[in-house]
Amino acid sequence: MPRSFTTKKRIRQNLRRRLHNRAAKGAVRLQVRQFAAALEGADAEAKAQEFRKAARALDKAVAHGVMHRNAAARKKSRLAAQLKKATSTPAAQA
């Protein structure tokens, strides 16, 4: 058990920050899952809208210091590639 005031305070701060970070990461994961689900559908507008939501969630995570900007950029790039692949015409792939 911590004895000093500062260690007790650090534990409180770490708990608060950990909960905040977990919530922010969970929001990102939720948006990415919803984007993946939209990729299964046929509506191109819904796919683009879900991509924008996922990208916005990633940008918010970076702004709040939850995620490194390069990690978010890498994830956004991969999501954009998935979107491009899903919305391209079958004739163009041949």
> Quick count: other Cβ atoms within 10 Å of Cβ 2?
10
Residue 66 has pLDDT above 90, yes or no: yes
The pLDDT, as a whole number, for residue 89 is 65
pLDDT band at 1 (very low <50, low <70, confident <90, very high): confident
Residue pLDDT, tens place only, 14-64: 999 999 999 999 999 999 999 999 999 889 999 999 999 999 999 999 999
- The CA distance from 30 to 25, in Å, is 9
pLDDT band at 90 (very low <50, low <70, confident <90, very high): low
- The CA distance from 7 to 82, in Å, is 46
Query: Helices 5-40 and 69-87 sit at what angle, rounded to 10 degrees?
Result: 10
Query: Which is the CATH superfamily of the domain at 5-86?
Result: Ribosomal protein S20 (1.20.58.110)
